[in-house]
Chain A
Amino acid sequence: MNDFLNDWGLTLAVFLPLLGAVVMMVIPRGEEDTHKIVALVSTLLSGAVGVWLLFNFDYDHSHKLQFARSDSWIEVINSRYHIGIDGISLPLLVLSMFITILVVIYSWNHFPEPHNPKAFLALTLVLEVGMNGTFVAQDLILFFVFFELVLLPMYFMIGVWGGEQRQYAAIKFFLFTLFGSALMILSFLALYFKGGQTFDMPQLIQVAQANISHNTALWIFGGLFMGFAIKVPMFPFHTWLPDAHTQAPTQGSVILAAILLKLGTYGFIRIAIPILPEAAHTWAPWIGGLAVVGIIYGALGCLAQTDLKRLIAFSSVAHMGFVMLGIATLTPVGINAAIFGMVAHGLITGMLFFIAGSVKDRFHTLEIRRLGGLLVQAPRLGWILGFCAMASLGLPGLAGFWGEFPAILSAYSPAAGMSEALFRTYMVIASVGTVLAAGYLLWMFQRTAFGNPPEEFADHHIHDVHGPEWLAWTPMLAGIVVLGVLPGLLLNITNPAVMAAFSRI
């Protein structure tokens, strides 16, 4: 069994959800319960493989590629089915499996209009294939295919099950990300031809730097930057995000915030920076600058929002700004913080979108002005919102803190050769961002949860948190606390891999 999983574990983890989706195709649309069970079972099976991977991962050698396999795929262009995980991809892979399971559980009785659980869950499963695959791919073309695989299901999820402006939001999301990935694939091809006639990431990391002239590398990095920065999204490419988040159904928002945004930051850590460290060095101050602009811009955007979901969306722009600032320092501390920030943001913001979805279900509005007194009508829901707001603003003891604080700290001393004055300025600006974050989150909490219920809802019976919600949320809430108290759980996995990957910079 162990031998089998050593060879096939990752492949199973990626493709089991696809198997589920295929099974669902042949089951008639009417049998909704069967669909739910098939979807749950396939995500659980994939998750079980994930747990097995967690237990059998060699933590002492987390910088090494594990459970790897490399089979021929497209011989003609020398691209291989090369997959494997190390300490950087493991946490994100597990996060992706974990969130998808919870999304399926949450969906049990929360199907947005026009209902159709068959199509909705099948798309969720295909999304998982794309997300899991991106985190395990070790070949640029394979990475590209998985990276793009998430576009179609998310496009349909927003466009079919979304809110009023869903069609606009869906196509905007699609066009923005496709533009980025079109330039990204050009860079991948340039890496192949200039870098050493291979799409294999570990090999490129060894040889590309030496083969590519600095000027060419800057251009190639620029293409990669466009692909990943739009996905993150960094200011000024973020405009698709508030629309997509606000219009997407709850499940779509959760997956978008928790996983899809990480594909971009993961791309920086896995591909752009290790393969072209010198170009990254030249680009880093600009990336850092855009990151802090994003932090402040996102925070100010939050303060101006009247819609709960849009507010959370803008807070994502700010939080991903911290992650990108950490990455831009090019130091192990910063990268570790970035990975931690990615996981923490996935849990916290995913949770916030879940809550927003449940609020919308109960009040049929997300306009902050019309909400209020949540703690009176649905105290548990209210307190969970409060808890997540605290986690999101980076309260020590909760997961958000360990993403944000070390990222700011790392900007104090960026990698050798980069302007300390500049990054220290960034550090100060980012610190202001945390204050603003506390401001908009507490203000949001105060307006929605405190006080008395507004007149229009005063007579309504508001159901507090119910079964499937508890099931879906408890693990995430527990995760926020556990990672907050024991950050070492995650940092011990990522650190050796980060040290190995970034020691050369």
Chain B
Amino acid sequence: MLSFVQPNIDYHALAPELVLVGALLLILLVDLVFEDRARWATSSLAGLGLLAALIPIITLAVNGHDRSMFGGAYVVDNFALVMKAVFLLAGYVVVLMSTDYIGEGDYYEGEYYFMLLSSLFGMLIMASARDLISIFIALETLSIPAYLLAGWRKRDLKGNEASLKYYLLGVFASAVMLYGMSLIFGVTGSTVLTDIRDGLGSGESVPIITVGILFVVIGFAFKVSAVPFHTWAPDTYEGAPTPITAFLSVASKAAGFVALLELVFIAFEGHEEVWKPLFWILAAITMTVGNLIALRQTNVVRMLAYSSVAQAGYMLAPFAIAGDLSGGNVGAIKAVVTYLIIYAAMNLGAFAVVIAVARKTRSAELSSFGGLFEYAPGLAVLLAAFVFALAGIPPLGGWYAKLAILNVLIDASTPWATVLAVVVAVNSVIALFYYASVAREMLMRPVADGDRTPVTIPASLAASIGLCAVSTIAIGVAPNLIARFSDLAHFVS
């Protein structure tokens, strides 16, 4: 009989999660007690809660100790702190975008923010999870509220489709991944990632290890919408409320990448011969297929959905060169984190402007953006800035993200890595065509149906656009602002 041992709990390390849980419980209470009168307060509470959760992250960062709990299953290192800050800030921007969208749509405000914060709570756990079970729990905690949020417009058929597709494929992916995890556990007898690494050893892989690794990676390939596991993404993105689309395409995708980084670069480190070719293929086809299909889209949200598929392809590329870098795998991790941070700023910004424009046009069709510059020059310029940032045109932030990826690919200097670098380069040219088509519609085409009434932008939405715009441009001009943080992002091992 094993006797129960009280685990040693470091409350400082858990403080961000605890603050977040406090905020979401508070929202639930306010929603319950005050009925309709104080519904509006829930969004403010959500925003404040997210900002409050940032405070312990700062104190932890200043304190500087790496903390490990529950036998190494839960670790607060620099990587975890950087990613938690990204999740919280992205969540904050999503709350700003949602405030009026949800408030005006009569969409169960209290529950909405409760779900959103629950999902973010899962992401915070994911950033610290160093154990198969905690990764799985984090994944489900962040996914299940997201399935509900995707179908938040419950009287809308597309909303239902969005939610159902996301749910079914998400659960399927979880099942595949769990099966893979069980195989890994069967071989190594441990769920802690570092123990798995030692248990798997290096050298020749027996088939069962290969299958286990493949299943786990493929499970997360669904989550980050890598081709050919991306089919849910465009429909879900189109049908979900637009702030949730932004949330899924940035925060949820980032969480998937966090899990992949943890699993691949800690647990499976010794077996790169299994997953390196897999990632090479995933990266190359994800970016190419995503971009080619995006070329044909006439709806901006669907276009951004495929663009985010393609962007995932760029972020998968550094996985394909592990073991070939002059400074070790940490370079690949940093490149992915750099890309995630910059991608979050520019993609959230693009969605925020789409939300603002749709307030007037009630549509996300590309043609409804025609002549936007004539009646809303500010919004048009900002959306142009965000899409060209996504295309990677200096001086907007995206160029540094692309450079970070290309940097490690060229550093690896194997023929395969160089070929992948060329694939990335060619893809960024293809992508420019559809990103520029958004700018062309806004600046070079006549006003759609001649309606020139100006767009009214509520303060919180304006704040979210402003935050994203300032970060996108500031990062582009002085990449060191974020390079300093992503440079810290490595695991304790």
Binding site for B on A (CB under 8 A): 29, 72-77, 119, 141, 144-145, 148-149, 151-152, 155-156, 159-160, 166-167, 170-171, 174-175, 178-179, 182-183, 185-186, 189-190, 192-194
Partner of B406, one of A75, A160, A170, A185: A185
Tell me, in angstroms, the Cα distance from A427 to B105 when the chains sit together. Answer: 74
Contacts known (A76-B484, A148-B399); A175 close to B394, Cβ less than 8 A: no
CB neighbours (8 Å) of B395 from chain A are 145, 149
- Asked if B407 and A77 sit within 8 Å, CB to CB, the answer is yes
- Asked if B406 and A151 sit within 8 Å, CB to CB, the answer is no
The yes or no answer to B157 lying at the interface (CB within 8 A) is no
Contacts known (A76-B487, A160-B443, A193-B411); A155 close to B425, Cβ less than 8 A: no
CB neighbours (8 Å) of B483 from chain A are 74-77
Which residues of B386-442 have CB atoms within 8 Å of chain A's CB atoms? 388, 393-395, 399-400, 403-404, 406-407, 410-411, 413, 418, 421-422, 425-426, 428-429, 432-433, 436, 439-440
CB neighbours (8 Å) of A167 from chain B are 440, 444
Partner of B422, one of A29, A151, A178, A186: A186
Contacts known (A77-B403, A152-B388, A185-B425); A174 close to B410, Cβ less than 8 A: no
CB neighbours (8 Å) of B484 from chain A are 75-76
- Asked if B425 and A74 sit within 8 Å, CB to CB, the answer is no
The yes or no answer to B479 lying at the interface (CB within 8 A) is yes
CB neighbours (8 Å) of B486 from chain A are 76
The yes or no answer to B480 lying at the interface (CB within 8 A) is yes
- Asked if A148 and B426 sit within 8 Å, CB to CB, the answer is no
Which residues of B440-475 have CB atoms within 8 Å of chain A's CB atoms? 440, 443-444
Partner of A178, one of B428, B444, B479: B428
Contacts known (A145-B399, A148-B393, A155-B436); A76 close to B425, Cβ less than 8 A: no
Q: What are 7 A-B contacts defined by CB distance under 8 Å?
A: A74-B479, A119-B377, A149-B395, A159-B444, A175-B429, A178-B393, A186-B425
- Asked if A144 and B394 sit within 8 Å, CB to CB, the answer is yes
CB neighbours (8 Å) of A152 from chain B are 388, 393
Tell me, in angstroms, the Cα distance from A145 to B402 when the chains sit together. Answer: 13
Binding site for A on B (CB under 8 A): 326, 377, 388, 393-395, 399-400, 403-404, 406-407, 410-411, 413, 418, 421-422, 425-426, 428-429, 432-433, 436, 439-440, 443-444, 478-480, 483-484, 486-487
- Asked if B410 and A193 sit within 8 Å, CB to CB, the answer is yes
- Asked if B406 and A186 sit within 8 Å, CB to CB, the answer is yes
Partner of A182, one of B425, B440, B479: B425
- Chain A residue, CB-CB nearest to B484: A76
Contacts known (A151-B393, A159-B443); A186 close to B480, Cβ less than 8 A: no
- Asked if A148 and B432 sit within 8 Å, CB to CB, the answer is no
User: Which of A29, A75, A76, A183 has the most B CB atoms < 10 Å from its CB?
Assistant: A76
- Asked if B429 and A178 sit within 8 Å, CB to CB, the answer is yes
Partner of A185, one of B403, B418, B444, B480: B403
Tell me, in angstroms, the Cα distance from A141 to B480 when the chains sit together. Answer: 13
Minimum C-beta distance from A495 to chain B (A): 33
- By secondary structure, the B interface counts as helix
Tell me, in angstroms, the Cα distance from A72 to B400 when the chains sit together. Answer: 16
- Asked if A174 and B443 sit within 8 Å, CB to CB, the answer is no
Minimum C-beta distance from A95 to chain B (A): 23
- Asked if B422 and A156 sit within 8 Å, CB to CB, the answer is no
Tell me, in angstroms, the Cα distance from A155 to B393 when the chains sit together. Answer: 12
CB neighbours (8 Å) of A183 from chain B are 422, 425
CB neighbours (8 Å) of A75 from chain B are 480, 483-484
CB neighbours (8 Å) of B377 from chain A are 29, 119
Tell me, in angstroms, the Cα distance from A171 to B435 when the chains sit together. Answer: 11
CB neighbours (8 Å) of B440 from chain A are 159, 167, 170-171
CB neighbours (8 Å) of B406 from chain A are 185-186, 189
Tell me, in angstroms, the Cα distance from A463 to B479 when the chains sit together. Answer: 52
Query: Can you name 17 extra interface pairs (CB under 8 A) apart from A74-B400, A171-B433, A193-B326?
Result: A29-B377, A74-B478, A75-B483, A76-B479, A76-B484, A76-B487, A77-B403, A141-B403, A145-B399, A148-B393, A155-B436, A156-B439, A156-B443, A178-B429, A185-B425, A186-B418, A190-B413
Tell me, in angstroms, the Cα distance from A178 to B430 when the chains sit together. Answer: 10
Tell me, in angstroms, the Cα distance from A336 to B176 when the chains sit together. Answer: 66
Tell me, in angstroms, the Cα distance from A312 to B406 when the chains sit together. Answer: 39
- Asked if A175 and B478 sit within 8 Å, CB to CB, the answer is no
Minimum C-beta distance from A498 to chain B (A): 29
Minimum C-beta distance from A256 to chain B (A): 18
By Cβ-Cβ distance, the 7 closest A-B pairs, closest first, are: A182-B425, A189-B410, A76-B483, A145-B394, A148-B394, A179-B429, A74-B479
Tell me, in angstroms, the Cα distance from A378 to B208 when the chains sit together. Answer: 86
Tell me, in angstroms, the Cα distance from A170 to B411 when the chains sit together. Answer: 34
Tell me, in angstroms, the Cα distance from A73 to B477 when the chains sit together. Answer: 9
Tell me, in angstroms, the Cα distance from A250 to B426 when the chains sit together. Answer: 32
CB neighbours (8 Å) of A186 from chain B are 406, 410, 418, 421-422, 425
- Asked if A175 and B432 sit within 8 Å, CB to CB, the answer is yes
CB neighbours (8 Å) of A145 from chain B are 394-395, 399
Partner of B426, one of A144, A151, A159, A182: A182
CB neighbours (8 Å) of A175 from chain B are 429, 432-433
CB neighbours (8 Å) of A178 from chain B are 393, 428-429, 432
Minimum C-beta distance from B391 to chain A (A): 8
Partner of A74, one of B429, B436, B444, B480: B480
Tell me, in angstroms, the Cα distance from A72 to B483 when the chains sit together. Answer: 13
- Chain A residue, CB-CB nearest to B374: A114
Tell me, in angstroms, the Cα distance from A339 to B161 when the chains sit together. Answer: 63
Minimum C-beta distance from B90 to chain A (A): 22
CB neighbours (8 Å) of A119 from chain B are 377
Minimum C-beta distance from B331 to chain A (A): 10
